[in-house]
Chains A and B, each alone.
Chain A
Amino acid sequence: MRTKLLAAGGALILSLGALLSPAAAHHSFSAEFDGSKPARLIGRITKVEWTNPHSYFYVDVKNSRGEIVNWACEGGGPGALSRRGWKKGDVKIGDQLVVDGYLAKDGSHTIDARRVTLPDGRSIYGGTPGDGGPGDGDVKNK
């Protein structure tokens, strides 16, 4: 009887968790980004956040109407990027970045940086390891 009560209590608490998980949940690729909306952005870096748990690169991109729009590109943390050869000083404000990724589901100007072409020509897998997005788990994306 007691264990049943505890189990019920547990279920109640988990529902609380469900209620509080917002529509834009991170930390599972499919929760934040749309795998059916691939995109390529080419733009100049305006800001670099070389941070845990995610890195962010902000680029000014010219849209189809010729207007400049600032996009946020989400990448893995410093550890993950560094293991793929992308060190903190490799990109600076003003550098051009080519970002291939998938658009955020919420329509904001956010893209997950699955593949980034750096100014020096190197092409780096930028995704957060284990996020379940396309290419995640591929040997060549380690």
Chain B
Amino acid sequence: MTALLQVCAWIHDLPWATAIRESEITFPALETVHVLSLGLMVGTIAIVDLRLLGVVLRHEPVARIAAPLLPATWIGFGLMLSTGGLLFAAEATDMYANPAFRLKLLLLGLAGLNMLVFHFTSYSRRVRWGSEVSPPVGARIAAAASLTLWTGVIIMGRAIAYFHHHG
């Protein structure tokens, strides 16, 4: 058993993780909040991406659109991370072996990385181009990548159920 699998097995067997796994209401409730928080997190990210691609609100400066939405995105992220963490713990050993879950984490990491890079490069120079209808190529690539990666995260998240192992 690899070290990682051992950690997952230890998490899986924790009393509270087991309680969630065997729960009647908690697990379904956590899952429901997890899925619906998508609208908050990915939804607000998508609006900013669409602005960067010149699809919506093209005559408004990017910062005026993005900055006020950040709190909503962070709240959404907090909800997804906390519910996701609890759901993961309840099925830790299953998730270890689940290819869809692994791919989801990879895409999630890439999506985060993409946002970080954008934030410290193109976005930091927004004074120069923020009011343009069509932002620089780097910003548009970041936006397209963001939409693609988050869509991938959603798809992989749903695909997890199709790779559940039992036995």
Contacts and interface: CB of A to CB of B under 8 A. Distances in A.
Touching chains A and B, CB distance < 8 Å: yes
B60 interface: no
B25 A79 contact: yes
Interface in B8-39: 20-25, 27-28, 31
Contact of B24 (A10, A13, A78): A78
A75 B54 CA distance: 49
Interface string B137-159: 00000001001100110011011
B85 to A, nearest CB: 16
B41 interface: no
Nearest to A14: B155
> Contact residue range for chain A?
20 to 34
A62 interface: no
A102 B24 CA distance: 25
A77 interface: yes
Contacts of A6: 53, 55, 147
Contact of B166 (A22, A52, A72): A72
Contacts of B23: 52, 78-79
Interface of A: 2-3, 6, 9-10, 13-14, 16-17, 20-22, 24-27, 49-54, 56, 58, 72, 74, 77-79, 82, 88
Interface of B: 20-25, 27-28, 31, 53-55, 90, 100, 103, 144, 147-148, 151-152, 155-156, 158-159, 161-164, 166-167
Q: Which 5 A-B pairs have the closest CB atoms?
A: A52-B27, A79-B24, A17-B155, A13-B151, A25-B162
5 contacts: A13-B152, A17-B159, A20-B100, A52-B22, A79-B24
